[in-house]
Amino acid sequence: MKHTLIGALLLTTSTLPALAQDDTITIDFVYPYSSLFDVTYEAIMPAFKAAHPNININIRASYEEYEDASNTILREAVSGNLPDVTMQGLNRQQILVDRGIAQSLEPFIAKEADFQKDGYHEAMLSLSTFGGEVYGLPFSVSLPVGYYNMDLLKSAGVETLPTTWDEVVQTCQTLKASGSDNPIYWDWAITGNWFFQALMWTQGVAPVEGNHINMDTPEALKTLETIKKIVDGCEMKNLSSDEANSAFAAGDLPMMFTSTSNVGRMLTIKDDFDFVTGAYPGIDGQPAGLPAGGNAAVMTSTSDDPAVRDAAWQWLKFITSGEGAAEVARTTGYMPPNRAANDLILADFYEQNPQKATAVKQLPLLRDWQAYPGDNGLAITQVIYDGLERIVTGDAQDMEDLQQELSEEIEDLMPHS
């Protein structure tokens, strides 16, 4: 049973046993999305090395995305090649806990005299807490937002950002009438069915309740119908996320709906146009909730050497601390789930970086990014992905039929006691 802990991880002094100057401990570390996070860890590393000169961080080849991260760790647990610390999607931690791969951090936390469980957003920390114990420390939090090229919108006569998906479709039609043949990208393929879950939470309904996935509900049908409305009403092209990001950066795509995580990178690669972000639209008004994306640092070390495990803890603790976590906001579009970073170190940051502030304003909407129950959770993710792809490619036309098919496929994959 999970419970929420209240409080923030503040940067703490090292508890690593004293080492001789020439003693070096190396720990293996791996993370996903190198295009987003390489710059973050490059910014963190000098401060960490200054504080811990005897700890060497060996960074393994990065995971492509969160499903790859989960599958890779599961394989490495079998082959005996686990890293000491891994970054895992918030919705992919439970299977690692259930299989004894992720290790409780409570013994390390207990030794920290000034460690405070304080300042983490509920949807983040609760996803790293199992059976009353913390198994991960959240590193970054993301929410879905709208990306807008205001030069293209204004040239088409659009002055106001859409707040509902009906308004989005109307804006698409205005853009198409003004000559745009590619008005929108809605990031349906994003990891973990995140945007499907976003439309469910928008309606105030959890995608998963207990051991039931709410694919058979009226809200799920409304979700599928809304996706089809976006695809058909905007004549959305079936781009990859990378293709959409490139098109937006080049000034060829007026609207894009994706994670705030890429805002920092977009600011550095975009052409010279007025780029703003806007709140994620709702179906019938403001969303009732939105899933918290992001990742957490998890210890998976199999070392019997206490010094190695303590070194892994020092790294894990540092990157989720106030100063370490602040680099997340500075270098990406993610928000650090840490009060020391948000309230102290980044006091003026969001005022000076309005594109990154949109997601912060949506923080009251944070809800769980949910994992699907049972050993077939990843397979269920693929089933829903395939269903969304059928909408985007035009293969699925009747949403009631699609809902029925998806519900039956999911039920076959659910755990049955």
Residue 167 lies in a domain: yes
Please tell me the distance from the alpha carbon of residue 344 to that of residue 334, in angstroms, as a whole number.
17
Highest mean pLDDT among 23-32, 314-323, 354-363: 23-32
Please tell me the distance from the alpha carbon of residue 37 to that of residue 31, in angstroms, as a whole number.
8
Residue 258 lies in a domain: yes
Q: Note whether 267 and 403 are same-domain residues.
A: yes
Q: How confident is the model at residue 6 (pLDDT cuts 50, 70, 90)?
A: very low
- CA separation, residue 108 to residues 105, 314, 380 (Å): 5, 10, 35
Q: Note whether 236 and 339 are same-domain residues.
A: no
Evaluate whether 65 touches 191 at the Cβ level (below 8 Å). yes
pLDDT at 321: 81
Q: Note whether 234 and 286 are same-domain residues.
A: yes
For residues 81, 109, 65, 260, the Cα torsion angle rounded to the nearest 10 degrees is -160
Q: How confident is the model at residue 128 (pLDDT cuts 50, 70, 90)?
A: confident
Q: Note whether 256 and 392 are same-domain residues.
A: yes
- CA separation, residue 12 to residues 25, 223, 266 (Å): 20, 45, 33
Kindly report the CATH number assigned to the domain that includes residue 70: 3.40.190.10
Residue 4 lies in a domain: no
Q: Note whether 186 and 85 are same-domain residues.
A: no
Q: How confident is the model at residue 126 (pLDDT cuts 50, 70, 90)?
A: confident
Which of 299, 300, 338 has its CA nearest to residue 124?
A: 338
Residues 6+ apart with CB under 8 A from 85: 27, 28, 29, 30, 297, 298, 299, 300, 301, 312, 315, 316
How many domains is the chain built from? 2
What is the mean predicted confidence (pLDDT) over 349-353? 90
Lowest mean pLDDT among 66-80, 152-166, 346-360: 346-360
Residue 118 pLDDT > 60, yes or no?
no
Q: Note whether 117 and 261 are same-domain residues.
A: no
Model pLDDT for residues 179-196, shown as the tens digit of each residue: 999 999 999 999 999 999
Residue 18 lies in a domain: no
Residue 113 pLDDT > 90, yes or no?
no
Q: How confident is the model at residue 124 (pLDDT cuts 50, 70, 90)?
A: low
Model pLDDT for residues 256-300, shown as the tens digit of each residue: 999 999 999 999 999 999 999 999 999 999 999 999 899 999 999
Which amino acid type is present at position 239? L
Q: Note whether 135 and 217 are same-domain residues.
A: no
Residue 338 pLDDT > 60, yes or no?
yes
Residue 9 lies in a domain: no
Q: Note whether 98 and 234 are same-domain residues.
A: no
Please tell me the distance from the alpha carbon of residue 315 to that of residue 15, in angstroms, as a whole number.
12
Q: How confident is the model at residue 325 (pLDDT cuts 50, 70, 90)?
A: confident
pLDDT at 311: 98
Q: Note whether 211 and 346 are same-domain residues.
A: no
Q: Note whether 67 and 129 are same-domain residues.
A: yes
More confident residue, 350 or 203: 203
Model pLDDT for residues 292-307, shown as the tens digit of each residue: 899 999 999 999 999 9
Q: Note whether 320 and 279 are same-domain residues.
A: no
Residue 7 pLDDT > 50, yes or no?
no
Residue 8 lies in a domain: no
Range of the domain at 254: 144-290+372-413
Model pLDDT for residues 15-39, shown as the tens digit of each residue: 444 444 458 999 999 999 999 999 9
Average pLDDT along the chain: 90
What is the mean predicted confidence (pLDDT) over 126-130? 83
Please tell me the distance from the alpha carbon of residue 197 to that of residue 89, in angstroms, as a whole number.
15
Bridge partners, residue 277, by sequence: 147
What is the mean predicted confidence (pLDDT) over 236-248? 95
What is the mean predicted confidence (pLDDT) over 367-380? 90
Lowest mean pLDDT among 26-35, 43-52, 136-145, 322-331: 322-331
Q: Note whether 276 and 396 are same-domain residues.
A: yes
Model pLDDT for residues 33-65, shown as the tens digit of each residue: 999 999 999 999 999 999 999 999 999 999 999
Residue 122 pLDDT > 70, yes or no?
no
